[in-house]
Amino acid sequence: MGKCYKKDEKEMELKMNREEKQDLNSSSHFWPQFRNNYDNDVTTFSPTGRIFQVEYALEAIKQGSAAVGLASKNHVVLVALKRNAEELGSYQKKVIKIDEHMGVALAGLAPDARVLSNFLRQQAMTSKMVFNRPLSVAKAVYSIADKAQDNTQSAGGRPYGVGLLVAGVDESGPHLYEFQPSGSVLEYYGTAIGARSQAARTFLEDNYENFADATKEKLIEYGLTALRDTLAQDKELNLHNTTVAVVGKDEPLKVYDDDEVQQWLDLLDTLSNSRHRAADDDDDDSSSDSGEDGEDGKDNKEAEKKEDGDGDGDKMDTD
C-alpha cells in the first residue's frame, strides 16, 4: 500500500509539473486571446502595459486626411488635404482659426476637433479679458493635453479620436505643436499627421535644415510638396481639396481656401517646372560634354593608330 501511494503521488506531481509548463509556454500568447478583456475600458491596462482604447484613438488619426505643419524663424505654415464624403457633398474643413495668432489643423474625427477648438477659443478669450494679452501657444496646447489626459483616467468615457497640429506665434516666437489623444504634446520644426503621412515626414526630415531661414513662400512650397507626397497616384492638389494657413510675427493668421489657395498652387507648379527645366538642361550639358569627349577620344585613337603604322613601316625598311 505504501508503494502504491508513493507511485500515485509521484504521478500526480509529474502531471502538475506538465500543466505548469504548459501554462508557462502559453503565457506569451495569453493576452491576445483575451484582448477584449482589456479594451472595453480606457482605465484598464493590458498585461503588456498597453491601453488599447488610446491606441484605437491614435488609429483614428490615421484614417483622416493628411495635414502638414512647418515652422521657421518668422512664420508657421499649415497645409491640409480636404475630403468630401460624397461627390455632391462639400469638403470637410481642415484648419480652424483659434485667435489672430493661432490656428489648428486636424486629422481624425472632426466633431472631436470642434469640441477641442471651442475650448481653445474660450481659453484665448479668457486670457484677453482677464490678463489683457494673447494666450501663449504652449499654455493653449497643454490645456487641451490635460483635458485629453483626464479622459484616459475616467471610466465610461473615451479618448478624443483626433490629432491636432497647433500653429501660433507669441512673445517667444513661432511655434508648431502636435497634440495626441493620449495627452502627449511635442514641438516640431516640421511634421505631418493623417493618412499616408509617413511620406510627408520623410520629405520634411530630408529638408528640415532649410526651414529656419525660409521665407513664407518657400515654407509654403515645402509644405505643399510634402502634402503632395501623401496623395494617391490618381490624385492631384487643387483649389477644392487644399487648405493653406500662415501666421507670422507681424502677420495675423490667414487661412487660404478655395479660390484663394490657387496662387500657392500656381507657385508650386512654377517652381516645379523650373526645377524640371534646370534638370533637363543639366542632362543636356552632360550629354554634350560626353559627346565632345567621345569625338576627341576618337580623333586621338586615330592619330595613335596612324603613328603606330608609320613606326611599323620604318622598321620594315630598316630590316
Is residue 87 assigned to a domain?
yes
What burial class does residue 91 get, using C-beta atoms within 10 Å of its C-beta: 0-12 exposed, 13-18 middle, 19+ buried?
A: middle
Side by side, the strands of the sheet bearing 242-248 are 190-193, 67-71, 75-81, 242-248, 251-256
CB distance 17 to 144 below 8 Å = no
Is residue 144 assigned to a domain?
yes
Is residue 234 assigned to a domain?
yes
**Cα gap 177→113, rounded to integer Å:** 15
> Which residues neighbour 25 within 8 Å (Cβ) at sequence distance 6 or greater?
none
Of 247, 71, 249, the C-alpha closest to 173 is 249
Is residue 24 assigned to a domain?
no
> Which domain range does residue 136 map to?
56-272
Is residue 26 assigned to a domain?
no
Question: For position 112, which CATH number holds?
Answer: 3.60.20.10
Of 183, 192, 198, 194, the C-alpha closest to 54 is 183
Is residue 40 assigned to a domain?
no
Is residue 138 assigned to a domain?
yes
Domain count across the chain:
1
pLDDT in tens, the chain (319 residues): 444 444 566 666 665 556 555 544 444 444 454 556 788 888 888 888 999 999 999 999 999 999 999 999 999 999 999 998 788 788 999 999 999 999 999 999 999 999 999 999 999 999 999 999 999 999 999 999 999 999 998 888 899 999 999 999 999 999 999 999 999 999 999 999 999 999 999 999 999 999 999 999 999 999 999 999 999 888 999 999 999 999 999 999 999 999 999 999 998 988 777 765 655 555 655 655 555 555 555 555 554 544 454 444 443 333 4
Of 95, 66, 60, the C-alpha closest to 81 is 66
Is residue 84 assigned to a domain?
yes
